[in-house]
Amino acid sequence: MRGISVVSFKKKASADIEPPVWFQRAFSIRCNVRIGAFTYFQTGSLQGCESIGRYCSIAGNLRVGDIEHPTGWLSTSPFQYNAARFGWSEAAADYEALVSKKDSFRKPQVVIGNDVWIGANATILRGVTIGDGAIIASGSVVTRAVEPYSVVGGVPARHIRFRFDEETIAELLDIRWWRFSPHDLSGIPFDDVNAATTDISRRIDQGMEPYEPDRMKVSKTTRSPTESEAPGSSRTRRALGRLRRAVQ
């Protein structure tokens, strides 16, 4: 894992990480989230995100799952369910807030699949699921579910096109190539998706095993391991590479 020192965690927030993951610049995590291997981040904030899959490419100024306000109540202001918001003022020091209903209007946390590319300045609202292989254009505000291998963009984000034809998408979702490490995928013709899926399918039939590293849970109070200590580190990968070559 690389760059965890630039990540800020709020209160009890934590990240259950499958290494390697790289945080390239300052990043904020304000929820409990699971993050898959070979994913990298630039700047951004996770406010309400359940999980992010493997091999995701996330550009700067991402916002995921920002806190919602009630739109069907008397007001959209949080004073209705959070007495502390203005409790420091005598004018709001003694009133009955609907604390028990503070989460009643909030949607589920965001789920982001594998091999998802999110452009700069994107916002993803709560209740959204983004399918494997999807692309979110820069500046988009995603308000609804995104299908696997769909390209979406705009405010609100709308479907633009699919990356591949239906048959190719079905094949990609069937083989789930992201289960494997770059070492396992060495020699695959990445620039020819049909040849790549054929080659990966053959390797799976021959017994290629998924990459399954030990996960790490990181929070504000835990010490992060150094890159060389972490499972999936460059030292570990080099050792695995030597072992593979020795048994070939």
In the sheet where 117-118 sits, what is the strand order? 21-23, 39-41, 57-58, 117-118, 135-136, 150-153, 158-162
The catalytic position among 10, 34, 69, 179 is 69
Strand 49-52 with 32-35, pairing: parallel
107: left (phi over 0), alpha (psi -120 to 50) or beta: beta
Catalytic residue flag (residue 159): no
> 109-128 burial string, b = 16+ CB within 10 Å, else e?
bbbbbbbbbbbebbbbbbbb
Q: Which amino acid is at 189?
A: P
Where is 40: in which H helix or E strand? strand 39-41
Question: Which residues are catalytically annotated?
Answer: 69
